Chain A
């Protein structure tokens, strides 16, 4: 489950980076492209961090038990 969550987070970040740096958005869609790319990068990064911190807490619990 953790692996799937990590892969999805990385895919979201990757897609955000693609939109930010490689996708040639038409003039009228530049603002939307800016918003969507940053949205994906932020959400992807935060879900990745949450996953890492959550699992490290679980690990700590299992070590203490």
Chain B
């Protein structure tokens, strides 16, 4: 057999093994890290007026996935955690754990139908001590959104979770805020500002 042909076969097998490792093997994490834009984790500082007080906020502009660029504002004392998937943020504050991400919704359904027929039953099944508190349609920066509020109880500790699904051109935005049940009222103003700051960008 031609030496060049043997060389091509060896090269092909090597490339296929690398692609396999990069897709499913130990190198898969490198691929995910590559998809996360480093600029997404660099916020711009600004001050928002809350109760006639100037409160410092950070604005994060997520540019991880095309057609799904968005911005979100957090109080500057919220710590940003390591993102697990492209297009997501994890924030930790003293009483609040928050997460923003994008979610694929198939073209043959609407976001509201998806939330009610797929997401809510899934949450009910997976969350210990699930108790639905509220469901409402809201508008976030001119985008139609659906907000599900529920309680979960784990190890005797109750948390309230506010999950907001925001319609988008390609994917939907999802904001999840977890607050201890007894802190819900006191923290409500700050996480409402956080949720309402979500904005799709071009």
A43, B8: Cα distance in complex, Å: 10
Q: Is the interface of B mostly helix, strand, loop or mixed?
A: helix
Contact for B23 among A26, A35, A53, CB less than 8 A = A35
Knowing A31-B24, A35-B23, the reply to whether A46 touches B2 (Cβ < 8 A) is no
Number of chain A residues close to chain B: CB under 8 A: 18
B8 touches A50 (CB 8 A): yes
Q: Check: A22 CB closer than 8 A to any chain B CB.
A: no
B 89-119 binary contact with A (CB < 8 Å = 1; else 0): 0000000000000011010000000000000
One of B11-19, B134-142, B155-163 contacting the partner: B11-19
How far, in Å, is B88 (CB) from chain A's closest CB? Answer: 11
CB-CB < 8 A to A53: which residues of B?
2, 4-5, 8
Contact residues in A for B5 (Cβ distance below 8 Å): 50, 53-54
CB distance from A31 to the nearest CB of B (A): 5
| Interface presence of A11 (CB below 8 A) | no
B9 touches A35 (CB 8 A): no
CB-defined contacts of A32 to chain B, threshold 8 Å: 23
Residues on B close to A: CB < 8 A? 2, 4-5, 8-9, 11-12, 15-16, 19-20, 22-24, 28, 31, 103-104, 106, 170
